[in-house]
Amino acid sequence: MYREITKELEKWKGKAHRKPLLLTGVRQCGKTYIVNEFAGKYL
C-alpha cells in the first residue's frame, strides 16, 4: 500500500547526517505499518 509518508522517509534515509526518526500521530493511523514496510524494503 502506498502512503505519502514514504517519500519523506526516503528523503530522511538519504541524508548523510540524519537525526533519529520520531513518528507521531493519532491512534490507529498506520504508524507501525509504514515503519514495518519501510524497514522491510530498505534494511
pLDDT for the residue numbered 10? 93
pLDDT for the residue numbered 2? 79
pLDDT for the residue numbered 3? 84
pLDDT for the residue numbered 28? 94
pLDDT one-digit tens code per residue, 1-43: 778 899 999 999 999 999 999 999 999 999 999 999 999 998 8
pLDDT for the residue numbered 43? 82
Model confidence pTM above 0.95 = no
Secondary structure (H, E, C), the chain: CCCCHHHHHHHHHHCCCCCCCCCCCCCCCCHHHHHHHHHHHHC
The grid coordinates of residue 42 equal 530498505
